[in-house]
Amino acid sequence: MKDPSYTCKIRRIKLEHTYFPEGLNSNMISLMDEVEELLSKAYYAGYEQAKDEQSQVWSNQAALGYVISAAEQVGMESDAITQLIRSIHRVFDTLTLSEAAVCYRQSQY
């Protein structure tokens, strides 16, 4: 794997040559430093968020909790919710997470 700091330095040099072909003055260098720092902070924040989200384990019980909560919020009757939950249990056994995601993305909902 390439050293990220080395890769960033190479990219910065290329950006400097592209956008400041005549060279940089002290204000331009300060601008490049500030942009680099902001991008680094944004990358780190995204990395930390992704790391936190990965720690959330998928569970069928959590998914059913979402369904039950939503069904109750829209006023579904208890019998209808029970039928829906039983149907979802069967689907858990036949679809993978990826297949379920495709089904959702391709649905009209």
- What is the count of structural domains for the chain? 2
Same domain, 85 and 46: no
> What confidence tens digit (pLDDT) does each residue in 52-101 have?
666 666 788 889 999 999 999 999 999 999 999 999 999 988 988 889 88
> Are 39 and 65 in the same domain?
no
Cα–Cα distance between 49 and 91 in angstroms, integer? 30
Question: Which range of residues forms the domain containing residue 43?
Answer: 4-54
Spatial separation of the C-alpha atoms in residues 52 and 99, rounded to whole Å: 24
- Per-residue pLDDT averaged across 45-53, rounded? 76
Average pLDDT in the chain? 86
Residue 50 and residue 12 share a domain? yes
49 and 64 part of one domain: no
In a shared domain, residues 68 and 90 = yes
* Residue 89 half-sphere exposure toward CB, CA atoms < 13 A: 7
Range 9-35 average pLDDT: 89
